Copies of this chain bind each other. A is one copy, B any other.
Amino acid sequence: IFSTLETKAITDMIEEALGADIVAKPDFALYSVGGRVLPHLTFANLVQLRQPTLLGRLGGRFLVPPPTVLESKSPEKALQPSVFAGECWAFQGDHGQLGIQLSRRITVTDVTIEHVDHRAALDIGSAPRHIEIWRLTEPGPRRSAPPQSSSFEMHPPPPQHQNSKETGKTVPLSSIKGIWRNGNAPVPGATLLTSFEYQIKNNTDGNVKRVQTFSIPERKQDEISTGIVVRVLSNWGHAKHTCLYRVRVHGLEQ
């Protein structure tokens, strides 16, 4: 159907697209180059694990390998490139906040959000919808001690809990929503860079893509970031949980 030259051109485009990870921009949140989750700025209600089955309790030769589902739902998943179904940071409800320490000091110019393709997704309703991006100008926690009382379930849970009870606690969402909807900064000094809506499902023109890049307004490109905070404020309808597959942060190095 295609000539040799055309075939070569298409093959080159495929190779380019593969190599450039579609977006073709450096990702300063990527785990493998040093992006890290900031636990003190990351919270959400944990996803309730499946109850251990009878099968799971039988030992010996019939022991089912312990499920690593919780592990695969750690917030680090959102900094790692694989986006096969389930390879996301999953949390209960439709509100979650992810703090990210960037690998370099940059002026943030764009942020990319991606979700599993809607055709391969088990529940497209768990895709994030309304999202806010906040700029951090200091990487570490401002406090030297844990807060005395917190209305949030921290994620990941403290080490002593990790191998015991792993079902999530129900935290009153109203209190989280109250804080977030008032436009309160995640930490003093943080600046709201942008807020946007992640779209799902291709329309008939095929213009809505799985990988969506959102620009930061130029007037907000006025200060260096050491990290960002991603706030998911709603999802596409799933009653129980939301999945954040990948966040990329693009920008100019300082």
Contacts and interface: CB of A to CB of B under 8 A. Distances in A.
A206 B2 CA distance: 14
Contacts of A30: 84-86
Interface residues of A, number: 79
A178 interface: no
Identify whether the interface residues of A are mostly helix, strand, loop, or mixed: loop
A217 interface: no
B117 A86 contact: no
Looking at A61, A87, A253, the one whose CB has the most chain B CB atoms below 10 A away is A61
Contacts of A76: 65
A15 B11 contact: no
Interface string A122-139: 100000000000000001
A22 B58 CA distance: 38
| Copies of the protein in its oligomer | 3
A6 B10 CA distance: 10
B5 A53 contact: no
A189 interface: no
Contacts of A116: 19
A18 B19 CA distance: 11
A16 B7 CA distance: 12
A134 B28 CA distance: 36
Contacts of A36: 64-65, 67
A129 B20 CA distance: 20
Contact of A140 (B1, B16, B23, B53): B53
A59 B181 CA distance: 31
Interface of A: 1-2, 5-7, 9-28, 30-34, 36-40, 50, 53-55, 58, 60-65, 67, 69, 72, 76, 81, 83-87, 101, 103-104, 116-117, 119-122, 139-141, 144, 146, 154, 156, 158-159, 206, 209-211, 253
